[in-house]
């Protein structure tokens, strides 16, 4: 997005500029909702005259696909992901996790798979590490079980929504819960302090623009979820 802003600033063609200054977010999950909200807040701070722009750029947040090799393994899959058991085992001495694996959520009344999100990928990685060690004679294997305790979504500024333990929150209380959750999830104390300091600075300053580069077209595969 920041790359498009820079390119729009460099062109003299008004049609090209309008196209590059347009963004469409596909996906209404946490990532899509937070992205759209942050973009809206950012444009209010650059674009304060009420200008409406036609859309061209798409920010895809609707899902991810397993690695291409999964389709060539001739193994059972569900919605494109490898079917694993409650120990995340695919077969003897082989495990799979994250967006490559379709692990059944026993807490879901419809027995659906766990979603392919970073939260589950981190937790499943820890379970697989323990189970690999157990297969080598160290410790005991464990199943993957996770029950969500709520949701949080940062909408920019003092706006947020959260539902910790089923309690619906909006505004500043939700913001505090959201930031607290994100801070707890960050590894290492030094990183927590650095991020917390950035948040405090951002309370009295404009948002910092960071260039992250562009994704190659060959890597931009549409999500299968």
Which distant-in-sequence residues (6+ apart) come within 8 Å of 222 by Cβ? Answer: 60, 62, 63, 65
Confidence of residue 225 (pLDDT cuts 50, 70, 90): very low
pLDDT computed for residue 133 by the predictor? 96
Rounded distance between C-alpha atoms, residue 98 and residue 114, angstroms = 9
pLDDT computed for residue 224 by the predictor? 44
pLDDT computed for residue 222 by the predictor? 55
For 213, phi and psi rounded to 5 degrees? Answer: 85, 180
Dump pLDDT digits (tens) for 3-43: 888 888 888 888 888 888 888 888 878 788 888 888 877 76
The answer on pLDDT for 164 being more than 80 is yes
User: Percentage of the chain surpassing pLDDT 70?
Assistant: 85
The answer on pLDDT for 186 being more than 70 is yes
Which distant-in-sequence residues (6+ apart) come within 8 Å of 160 by Cβ? Answer: 152, 153, 154, 169, 170, 171, 174, 175, 177, 178
112 versus 223: which is more confidently predicted? 112
> Is the distance from CB of 209 to CB of 2 less than 8 angstroms?
yes
Least confident of 10-24, 49-63, 116-130, 210-224: 210-224
For 188, phi and psi rounded to 5 degrees? Answer: 70, 135
pLDDT computed for residue 52 by the predictor? 64
pLDDT computed for residue 14 by the predictor? 87
> Is the distance from CB of 136 to CB of 154 less than 8 angstroms?
no
Residue found under tokens 């607290």 = 180
Dump pLDDT digits (tens) for 102-146: 998 888 777 788 888 888 898 999 999 999 999 999 999 999 998
Bridge-based pairing of strands 57-60 and 89-91 is unpaired
The Cα diameter of the chain in Å comes to 67
109 versus 89: which is more confidently predicted? 89
* Mean pLDDT over the full length of the chain: 83
Task: Specify the pTM.
Answer: 0.58
Three-class SS state of 62: coil
pLDDT computed for residue 55 by the predictor? 66
Confidence of residue 220 (pLDDT cuts 50, 70, 90): low
pLDDT computed for residue 208 by the predictor? 61
- Report in angstroms the alpha-carbon separations of 131 from 77, 91, 117: 22, 13, 21
Rounded distance between C-alpha atoms, residue 206 and residue 196, angstroms = 16
Q: Concatenate the DSSP letters of all residues of 119-172 into one string.
A: HHHHHHHHHHHHHHHHHTTSS------------EEE-STT-EEE-GGG--EEHH
């Amino acid at each position: 997005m920041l790359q498009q802003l820079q390119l729009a600033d460099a062109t003299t063609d008004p049609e090209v500029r309008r196209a590059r200054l347009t963004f469409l977010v596909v996906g209404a999950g946490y990532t899509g909702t937070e992205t759209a909200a942050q973009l809206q807040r950012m444009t209010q701070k650059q674009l304060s005259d009420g200008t409406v722009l036609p859309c061209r750029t798409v920010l895809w947040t609707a899902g991810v696909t397993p690695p291409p090799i999964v389709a060539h393994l001739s193994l059972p899959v569900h919605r494109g992901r490898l079917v694993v058991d409650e120990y995340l085992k695919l077969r003897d001495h082989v495990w799979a996790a994250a967006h490559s694996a379709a692990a059944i959520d026993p807490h879901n009344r419809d027995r659906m798979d766990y979603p392919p999100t970073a939260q589950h990928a981190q937790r499943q990685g820890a379970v697989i590490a323990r189970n690999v060690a157990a297969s080598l004679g160290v410790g005991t294997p464990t199943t993957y079980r996770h029950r969500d305790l709520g949701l949080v979504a940062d909408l920019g500024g003092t706006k947020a929504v959260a539902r910790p333990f089923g309690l619906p929150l909006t505004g500043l209380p939700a913001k505090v819960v959201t930031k607290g959750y994100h801070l707890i999830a960050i590894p290492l104390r030094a990183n927590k302090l650095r991020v917390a300091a950035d948040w405090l600075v951002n309370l009295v300053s404009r948002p910092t623009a960071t260039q992250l580069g562009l994704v190659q077209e060959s890597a931009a595969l549409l999500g299968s979820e």
